[in-house]
Chain A
């Protein structure tokens, strides 16, 4: 079923829009929540991975005999223990992944493509024996030239990572392999004519470094392969169904024989939308006959799991003196890492999504490099292109002598305007977010010496997709809401609140749980800001089905037509005046009589949710630059975002604050640093500096609510938009503070000192 309510319910809400205590809160603050690394089984072995020390090399041989002979070693696997899959795109996460690339990223076959690439794995009775076994595995490499810089990888003479990779999207079919996996292009109007009309032009070349999602919990799982072929996996991921499908495909198993239970997840941000450990743990368990636990170290997380792309962004804007943009040209070059699939497509589509530009071209390049295969990271691709475009917009405002918010308002998309990526916008709240920051006291607050203020905006599509939810009413009139989406950002609370709202229950009477793959129908993974929208729609519809059933049961008890029963504040109310003296039938009263009215009360809904509403954010950032050290202090940060409807406003605020914090890290400190051999030099939180609480002021979120008519309560996605503007908001503030445009992220102290010294 796919129907939704005729219009969102936004009035007279009792639960939606309130701030109840999160259902997982007590377990998490008392340390009782079971994360991936907390799960254990009797007789469990320790699994570990031997990784390549080379960025690019042919594997000449792997000798595992000594490792297998070591006492306590129960299994040793290499690529030979996995099927050699054909290149095939398969959809199991959010969009199709190439199964061969996915398998080769989990375990190298024939060639290693980055420092940290897995070449073998062991399972042993202790961690120290597993370490000793890894040391006894001899891998002979033929080291090849490597390339990590995205533009160097695009050059004709660059080392080629994949002999079978020919550039897609060219006018003529290429006759030789290339590291450019794909070229995409979006165009509108007449670019040359647009620039000819311009009275002012600005141009810039910007770069961003590869940055990691930085989730605190490393990847972890336990896998148990039973003799009858039934498998179980407990793992920390953004989608248990995604883990099941990918494991089945990589190992050549039936998905029906794999049951995946999601543990609590300590952050994902897109980085846990794929598999790394689970197929290896299953293969080790199959060989050893015992459960196998694998937990990455932080170093492994950095070296072998997806960061997002480092990139080059070229932007040229042309405008009339009144600020109307006449033309825009954007070129995006994104690192994909070892296999194709950077987020340059989304980066291209979002680059100009905030602006109504009559003439533009956006050209994107997806480029493989000898670095870890990139994975999704909050609004994948969008912060990178926004950094370039929003920096150029800031320069354009300065060139025109215009207020930066006024320039954005002048060119803003609004309802009825065609987005740069094609379709016509409807029910968007972009102008409202601009008004929110323009009217905020922050925007008018005075600044001191060495201080500057920056503004930037951002966009994300938000998505829907397949979701399943079940609502079961207990004998005491409480309810359990069962979904198949790991809770990475507060979705459990939102699910419970929407069910409580429809059923008329207090939130304390509704318990949300996240079920394993055998206990609930399929749901796409948690990502793309889809869960509160799409799974929330399934929850709402399931609760609505229950209300319909409850009214039928009440009508049966009262012996009146069902049309004479309404559901108000969690109870059936008889509208037949002659029988009004019987009093209302609460959910608890109906549940107590359920055996006589049709049995247990519950409903399940599976749907493909369409109609996710796009989100916009507008941010203000104040910084102070220390001219002695080049250190940037974030003084104040305000972030407005259209969220449609905030189901749980505190969680929405937390999402906005978290996205901003990650964006600030991207802007100021975070970067992958490689040595001349292509080895990552800063694979740890001491040297890879994410912002900590003491680095940041209280980030002030402003919730703007322009309801999405396609969601029962008007919700749009929340989690991705807030990471889009901060890169440019910070950079624009630094520009204002020091008087020089900095174009290369991160804006670390040495770079800023060099610019100040050269002034």
Chain B
């Protein structure tokens, strides 16, 4: 089951301080849906504010990205640049 880490403080507001959890999902879209079901509001927060690092690779707007059973998923603030 993919292991999700939401270490940043804005995510912890939705998770009652929980930082790490396993999520039954095989895609980013399903992971966001499951997280929103478990922590209401977190899904929209992820969609608007967060990027998703899957096994070290940062994805933005990647609903279709696949998650493996042993995937490491980090929620990190979205990244812009100059």
Smallest CB separation, A339 vs chain B (Å): 15
Pick out which of these stretches binds chain B: A225-233, A463-471, A476-484: A463-471
Q: Known A379-B81, A710-B57; judge A169-B13 contact (CB<8 A).
A: yes
Contact (Cβ within 8 A) A530 B48? no
Q: Is B1 an interface residue (CB 8 A)?
A: no
B57's partner among A346, A423, A719 (CB-CB below 8 A) is A423
* Most central of A93, A96, A710 by chain B CB within 10 Å: A96
Q: Which residues of the partner chain B approach A425 to less than 8 Å between Cβ atoms?
A: 56
Q: Mark B33-62, 1 if CB is under 8 A from A, else 0.
A: 000000000000000110001011111111
A376's partner among B9, B48, B80 (CB-CB below 8 A) is B80
Q: Which residues of the partner chain A approach B56 to less than 8 Å between Cβ atoms?
A: 423-426
Q: Known A346-B79, A528-B79; judge A461-B10 contact (CB<8 A).
A: no
Nearest residue in A to B49 (C-beta to C-beta)? A96
Q: Is B18 an interface residue (CB 8 A)?
A: no
Q: Known A422-B7, A422-B53, A610-B65; judge A530-B58 contact (CB<8 A).
A: no
Nearest residue in A to B72 (C-beta to C-beta)? A424
Nearest residue in B to A463 (C-beta to C-beta)? B79
Task: State the interface size on chain B (CB cutoff 8 A).
Answer: 29
Q: Known A527-B80, A527-B82; judge A463-B64 contact (CB<8 A).
A: no
Counting contact residues on chain A (CB < 8 A from B), the size range is: 35 or more
Nearest residue in B to A417 (C-beta to C-beta)? B56
B82's partner among A183, A186, A349, A379 (CB-CB below 8 A) is A379
Smallest CB separation, B35 vs chain A (Å): 16
Q: Which residues of the partner chain A approach B58 to less than 8 Å between Cβ atoms?
A: 423, 461, 463, 610, 612
Nearest residue in A to B61 (C-beta to C-beta)? A608
Majority-rule SS of A interface residues: loop
Q: Known A169-B10, A422-B5, A424-B55; judge A2-B64 contact (CB<8 A).
A: yes
Smallest CB separation, A210 vs chain B (Å): 15
Smallest CB separation, B80 vs chain A (Å): 4
Q: In the bound complex, how far is the Cα of B59 from the Cα of A168, in angstroms? A: 25
Q: In the bound complex, how far is the Cα of B62 from the Cα of A722, in angstroms? A: 29
Q: Known A187-B7, A423-B76, A610-B65; judge A376-B81 contact (CB<8 A).
A: yes
Contact (Cβ within 8 A) B78 A95? yes
Q: Is A638 an interface residue (CB 8 A)?
A: no
Q: In the bound complex, how far is the Cα of B43 from the Cα of A475, in angstroms? A: 50
A528's partner among B59, B64, B80 (CB-CB below 8 A) is B80
Q: Is A185 an interface residue (CB 8 A)?
A: yes
Q: Which residues of the partner chain B approach A529 to less than 8 Å between Cβ atoms?
A: 81
Q: In the bound complex, how far is the Cα of B40 from the Cα of A603, in angstroms? A: 43
Q: Mark A263-295, 1 if CB is under 8 A from B, else 0.
A: 000001111010000000000000000000000
Q: In the bound complex, how far is the Cα of B75 from the Cα of A377, in angstroms? A: 24
CB neighbors of B among A194-226 (8 A)? 213
CB neighbors of B among A88-110 (8 A)? 89, 91, 93-96
A168-B13, A528-B79 known; 17 new pairs, CB 8 Å cut-off, are: A2-B64, A94-B78, A94-B81, A96-B49, A96-B78, A169-B13, A182-B10, A185-B8, A186-B7, A349-B77, A376-B80, A423-B74, A424-B72, A426-B55, A610-B60, A610-B65, A717-B81
Give me 14 A-to-B residue pairs in the complex whose CB atoms sit less than 8 angstroms apart, sorted by A's number.
Answer: A184-B77, A269-B82, A270-B81, A346-B77, A346-B80, A378-B81, A378-B82, A380-B82, A421-B74, A423-B57, A426-B56, A463-B58, A527-B80, A611-B57
